Amino acid sequence: MPALPSLSLVPLQMPRTGTLVVLAGADAATAASLPEAVRSHVARAGSAYKFKGKSLAVMDLLAPEGIGPDRILVIGLDADKPLAEEDWLKLGGAVAGRVKGAGAVTVWLDRAAGSVGAAEAAWFAQGLQMRSYSFDAYKSVKSEDESDAQADSVSLALADPEAARGHLATAAAVADGVALARDLVNEPANVLGPVEFADRLTELSKQGVEVEVLTEAEMRALGMNALLGVAQGSPRPPRLVVMRWNGAEGDAAPVAFIGKGVVFDTGGVSIKPAAGMEDMKGDMGGAAAVSGLMLALAGRKAKVNAIGIVGLVENAVDGNAQRPGDIVKAMSGTTIEVNNTDAEGRLVLADALWYCQDRFKPRFMINLATLTGAIIVALGNHHAGLFSNDDELSERLAAAGRVTGEKVWRMPLGPEYDKLIEGKFADIKNVGAGRAAGSITAAQFLQRFVNTVAWAHLDIAGTAMGSPANEYNQSWGSGFGVRLLDRLVTDHYETR
């Protein structure tokens, strides 16, 4: 990772040099706190260049002599409509994209329409931090704006900088979680196998996360044969990692997050076609999101007890690999006909979900998985599929999605769909009939391993990786899910 810009909070005072970033509303109206020389210069440029202050529109100006900074970057605010959390992320991201390599940057966080509060400043900073992420460890020659030769320093100038300090630290902890999730998804599978993934998570103990790693032998003793069947075609052994963040006072029942961690999905004997198979290094996007979330919760000292569990396997193919038609007995006792070895994620999650609910009796379980290509057919790259047995949890997730921009869309479950996975030789089979309702039958399969606990499944195949770049994400691995679930916890599950 190249050096991220260093962020500091300062009062509203004109810098003596560098780049000044100014927020502008309709007709380039700027904050009254700015020196008159700056305001009139921006207003004049606005009318000369027909700058209307539309959202994220930019004017990059040479500053008039004698005012301090050399450059004034004006960015539009769309002042008429109230700015929501994601708007501030986009603003921060757009600014970061424009000032890379600029050196000293001062962002004047004040506007004609009223001052900028602590939470808003923190969202802006989070967008800036997320946009500054890049994954270029394997590039021998770095592109100029990715070079870390000149680390930028960004000062956020605010009417009340002290009030924003705590918010900024919280937002930065969450952005760190997003960066971890992105790193894990972007990392190639030759570097990041199940053992290496588990080793990286062991590092989270430095942040106060308790980390426990189950080996193959331990999983065998627990009867996790669904997960182990997937792993058996790879020389690289599987791992199950249990992370615990105990931030609540007392021993309240934990909230639990479970992630699919297939470090590479060849499809197994039901092998995938070659085209695009390289993307399957990202088939651990669910596990990455859970890992990033745990880092975020610990980093911001969330007042919650949280469990993160990731099932780490490689779905490879060798002479020992699982065959179509094989029957395995999951930890729950359910027998499964593995009719398609490429429907492996649900086998991994079956044992991880059962283990989680059995051992921790959580308040709810939310699993994340790059589970089906079918969810991309249904929802594209802009919503994750949400499947749940609980209306309240679903509503809360949908609301968290709307504010963070990590949107989810609820899909149905039901007995008609459950019937499609009835087994011929065993209790259930791991694929439905044909391509119909592929994401739903996958969710029905997972639900077979959930008893009465509130549960939600997020199918993030379309959102965890390869989704279109935006103002605050230019990375292939998006880190989807970290901010969504952090927001869910913040809004509903922390003790005050």
Which residues of 330-407 form beta strands (DSSP E)? 335-338, 364-369, 384-388
What is the closest distance, in whole angstroms, from the C-beta atom of residue 276 to ligand BES in the complex?
8
What is the closest distance, in whole angstroms, from the C-beta atom of residue 338 to Mn ion in the complex?
12
What is the closest distance, in whole angstroms, from the C-beta atom of residue 426 to ligand BES in the complex?
17
Please identify which residue in 129, 332, 370, 388 interacts with ligand BES, judged by CB under 6 A.
370
Site size toward ligand BES (CB under 6 A) is 14
346 carries an active-site annotation: yes
DSSP code at position 270: S
Distance, in Å, from the CA atom of 287 to the CA atom of 309, rounded to the nearest integer, reads 8
Distance, in Å, from the CA atom of 31 to the CA atom of 197, rounded to the nearest integer, reads 48
DSSP code at position 244: E
Report the partner that residue 397 touches, choosing among Mn ion, ligand BES, Zn ion, none (CB closer than 5 to 8 A by kind).
none
**Which residue is nearest to ligand BES, using beta carbons?**
373
Q: Which two tokens stand for residue 351?
A: 């044992």
What is the closest distance, in whole angstroms, from the C-beta atom of residue 419 to Mn ion in the complex?
23
3-state secondary structure of 372: coil
Residues ≥6 apart with Cβ < 8 Å to 258: 286, 290, 308, 309, 310, 311, 349, 352, 353, 356, 365, 366, 367, 368
- Asked if 266 is part of the footprint of ligand BES (rule: CB under 6 A), the reply reads no
Distance, in Å, from the CA atom of 4 to the CA atom of 134, rounded to the nearest integer, reads 9
Point out the catalytic residue in the list 39, 90, 100, 346: 346
Report the partner that residue 337 touches, choosing among Zn ion, Mn ion, ligand BES, none (CB closer than 5 to 8 A by kind).
none
When the beta carbons of 102 and 461 are compared against ligand BES, the nearer one is 461
- Asked if 178 is part of the footprint of ligand BES (rule: CB under 6 A), the reply reads no
When the beta carbons of 242 and 287 are compared against Zn ion, the nearer one is 287
Q: Which two tokens stand for residue 396?
A: 């809360």
Q: Which two tokens stand for residue 317?
A: 């193919």
When the beta carbons of 280 and 400 are compared against ligand BES, the nearer one is 280
- Asked if 314 is part of the footprint of ligand BES (rule: CB under 6 A), the reply reads no
Q: Which two tokens stand for residue 60?
A: 């990059």
When the beta carbons of 286 and 299 are compared against ligand BES, the nearer one is 286
- Asked if 461 is part of the footprint of ligand BES (rule: CB under 6 A), the reply reads yes
- Contact 24/51 with Cβ under 8 angstroms? yes
How many degrees, rounded to 5, is the angle at CA 288 between CA 286 and CA 289? 65
Please identify which residue in 153, 335, 340, 470 interacts with ligand BES, judged by CB under 6 A.
340
CB atoms within 10 A of CB 11: 11
Distance, in Å, from the CA atom of 175 to the CA atom of 289, rounded to the nearest integer, reads 12
Of 182-190, 235-243, 336-344, 472-480, the window that binds ligand BES (rule: CB under 6 A) is: 336-344
Strand-strand pairing, 210-214 and 255-265: unpaired
CB atoms within 10 A of CB 98: 16
Distance, in Å, from the CA atom of 106 to the CA atom of 126, rounded to the nearest integer, reads 16
Residues 310-339 that bind Zn ion (CB under 5 A): none
Report the partner that residue 340 touches, choosing among Mn ion, Zn ion, ligand BES, none (CB closer than 5 to 8 A by kind).
ligand BES
Strand-strand pairing, 408-410 and 384-388: parallel
When the beta carbons of 213 and 378 are compared against ligand BES, the nearer one is 378
What is the closest distance, in whole angstroms, from the C-beta atom of residue 437 to Zn ion in the complex?
18
What is the closest distance, in whole angstroms, from the C-beta atom of residue 469 to ligand BES in the complex?
18
When the beta carbons of 108 and 197 are compared against ligand BES, the nearer one is 197
100 carries an active-site annotation: no
Please identify which residue in 126, 129, 170, 372 interacts with ligand BES, judged by CB under 6 A.
372
Distance, in Å, from the CA atom of 371 to the CA atom of 350, rounded to the nearest integer, reads 12
Distances in Å between the alpha carbon of 82 and those of 120, 171, 379, 462? Answer: 12, 21, 28, 30
Please identify which residue in 373, 389, 402, 410 interacts with ligand BES, judged by CB under 6 A.
373
Point out the catalytic residue in the list 272, 301, 303, 410: 272
- Asked if 374 is part of the footprint of ligand BES (rule: CB under 6 A), the reply reads yes
Residues 254-293 that bind Zn ion (CB under 5 A): 262, 265, 283
Residues ≥6 apart with Cβ < 8 Å to 406: 384, 400, 463, 480, 481, 483, 484
Report the partner that residue 461 touches, choosing among Zn ion, ligand BES, Mn ion, none (CB closer than 5 to 8 A by kind).
ligand BES
Report the partner that residue 372 touches, choosing among Mn ion, Zn ion, ligand BES, none (CB closer than 5 to 8 A by kind).
ligand BES
Percent of the chain as helix, strand, coil, to the nearest 5: 40, 20, 40
Residues 339-358 that bind Zn ion (CB under 5 A): 345
- Asked if 283 is part of the footprint of ligand BES (rule: CB under 6 A), the reply reads yes
Sign, CA torsion 67/69/74/77: negative
Of 38-46, 347-355, 365-373, 387-395, the window that binds ligand BES (rule: CB under 6 A) is: 365-373
Distance, in Å, from the CA atom of 267 to the CA atom of 317, rounded to the nearest integer, reads 8
Residues 420-459 that bind ligand BES (CB under 6 A): 431, 438
Please identify which residue in 86, 110, 187, 342 interacts with ligand BES, judged by CB under 6 A.
342
- Asked if 344 is part of the footprint of ligand BES (rule: CB under 6 A), the reply reads yes
Distance, in Å, from the CA atom of 353 to the CA atom of 84, rounded to the nearest integer, reads 35
Catalytically active residues are 272, 346
Residues that bind ligand BES (CB under 6 A): 265, 283, 340, 342-345, 370, 372-374, 431, 438, 461
Residues that bind Zn ion (CB under 5 A): 262, 265, 283, 345
